[in-house]
Structure 1
Amino acid sequence: MVDHAEGGGQALTDILSPEQEAAALVESGRLLFARDITFLRGAVALDGLPDAGKPEIAFAGRSNVGKSSLINALCGRSTVARTSNTPGRTQELNFFDVNGRLVMVDMPGYGFASAPKDKVDAWTRLVKGYLKGRPTLRRCFLLVDSRHGLKDSDRDMMKLLDQAAVIYQVVLTKIDKLKASEVEAVRARTVDEISRHVAAHPVLILTSSEKGLGLADLRCEIVQLAEAEKAS
């Protein structure tokens, strides 16, 4: 946070209790997504990317991981990202301006074996080129279905992100579909695996779009990236 107390110039976080500081961060995250969210463009090729400017965050995940549902729940509205029961519907990089402070990118789903090979190859080239060449990309949120845990296609994406030196953070989706003991088991397995990846952010986020679980945690991570950019 970069606000200052009146008069003395003392950082606000220096005079707040840890509980107050946490509550202020949650509120900052809520406000970030409660305001204007504007679709900028969809890119099907690298030459269609918007000019790099504001800091960017990207959402990646297997087809049908619940990415569009999570983005919509994060933004508190149902029409930001298109949802579908058909895997592989998102076939381009979709860019959204979030309150004029950062850009959110909805990436094509991966791991859908029934998609035509030429289409999969095109998506793969687009995603690889974007990840390796986007200087404003601050973090990729890698969504993983908690019912299945990390799959080989997720591991391939993690390897690509490691190689591209893009910081990424794993987000488990659909945890409301599991029993508490199952949630803890998949959490422990996932934390153990991501600890062995050089570009992986160590904090795992557990979410449910349907129940609203973990959304505040995810917003807090994102607003801190926006605040860090503003302070730099």
Structure 2
Amino acid sequence: MIEAGRLLFAKEAKFFFGAQRLNQLEPATLPEVAFAGRSNVGKSSLINAITGRKMLARASSEPGRTKQLNFFNIGDQLVFVDMPGYGYAKASKDVKKDWQGMMFSFLRGRPTLLRVLLLLDARIELKESDHQIMKLMDRAAVTFQIVLTKCDNLSATQLEKKEKEISQLLQSHTAAYPFIRFTSSQKNIGIEELRADLARLVV
């Protein structure tokens, strides 16, 4: 599937829609994969690495504050949905609550959504907001896969410890996909394998 992933993401990738409210969403016509994660976890960098476009996705100038869902068409075969980052320390309680409400409604009501890639920074411990989003996806009954980012900063021993920790955690989540991906957008680690995972969903 490595070659299928390469061919899929060799196709044109373009931003085509942004929505700040769910009532702005257009009817979905293609299968979708959403990207979720804490602010500054590297969602934009990973989307750019997967698609091979340096500036396709751009980080918000106000991390944790935007409520916009950004949609990217991948060769008229797949749509990436870039979800706003969560867990931003300076965001008000109202903003955080509103984020959870909007995301739950989107996840639960999107029949074309095949999977959520939940990005976690490999260098830091899981936060309460990470646990909350996993529970939210359990309740929404949406399959999520853990993708560890910035893995080039850890040793093989540290990565093995991280994998064991998260694998054990996932056993308590009904919506969790059991296979974890290790990536680095900067060093292009795990990108081919992740492309193959995504190609399996649509090819």
Asked if TM exceeds 0.5, the reply is yes
* Residue pairs, 1:187-202, within 5 angstroms: 187-202=163-178
Deviations 1:6-50 (A, max 9, x none): xxxxxxxxxxxxxxxxxxx10110111111112121110011112
Bigger shift: residues 102-111 or 31-40: 31-40
Is it true that 1:203 corresponds to 2:179 in the alignment?
yes
User: Which whole-Å CA distance do the structure 2 matches of 1:221 and 1:105 have between them?
Assistant: 16
Which amino acid counterpart does residue 105 of structure 2 have in structure 1? G
Q: Distance in 2 between the 1:32 and 1:92 partners? A: 26
Paired AA for residue 63 in structure 1 = S
CA distance in 2, matches of 1:89, 1:41: 19
What does 1:60-99 correspond to in 2, within 5 Å? 60-83=36-59, 87-88=63-64, 90-99=66-75
Q: 1:131-177, CA deviations, whole angstroms, 9 ceiling, x for partnerless residues?
A: 11111110000000001143211111110101111001000110101
On the 8 A contact 2:151/2:182 being kept in 1, the answer is yes
**Which residue in 2 is equivalent to 1:37?**
13
In structure 2, C-alpha distance between the alignment counterparts of 1:97 and 1:85, rounded to whole Å: 23
Matches within 5 A, 1:69-218: 69-83=45-59, 87-88=63-64, 90-218=66-194
Change in 2 beyond 3 A, CA 1:177/1:85: farther
Cα deviation, residue 116, structure 1: 3.6
Question: With CA pairs under 8 Å and 6+ residues apart, which has the higher RCO, 1 or 2?
Answer: 2
Counting matched residue pairs gives 203
Specify whether residues 174 and 157 from structure 1 end up closer, same or farther in structure 2 by C-alpha distance, changes over 3 A only: same
User: What CA distance in whole angstroms lies between the structure 2 residues aligned with 1:180 and 1:198?
Assistant: 28
Name the % identity.
Answer: 50
Give the structure-2-normalised TM-score: 0.94
SS at match of 2:115: strand
2:5/2:199 contact within 8 Å kept: yes
What is the alpha-carbon distance in structure 2 between the residues aligned to residue 107 and residue 205 of structure 1? 19
- Bigger shift: 114-123 or 207-216? 114-123
CA offsets 1:74-131 (integer angstroms, 9 cap, x no match): 1111111103685326531001111000111000000002024443333332211101
Instruction: State how far apart, in whole Å, the 1-side matches of 2:182 and 2:28 are.
Output: 30
Partner SS, residue 77 of structure 1: coil
CA distance in 1, matches of 2:63, 2:150: 16
Letter aligned with residue 162 of structure 1: D
Partner SS for 1:157: helix
Larger radius of gyration: 1
What are structure 1's unaligned runs of at least 5 residues? 1-24, 228-232
Rounded to whole Å, the distance in 1 between the matches of 2:195 and 2:126 is: 23
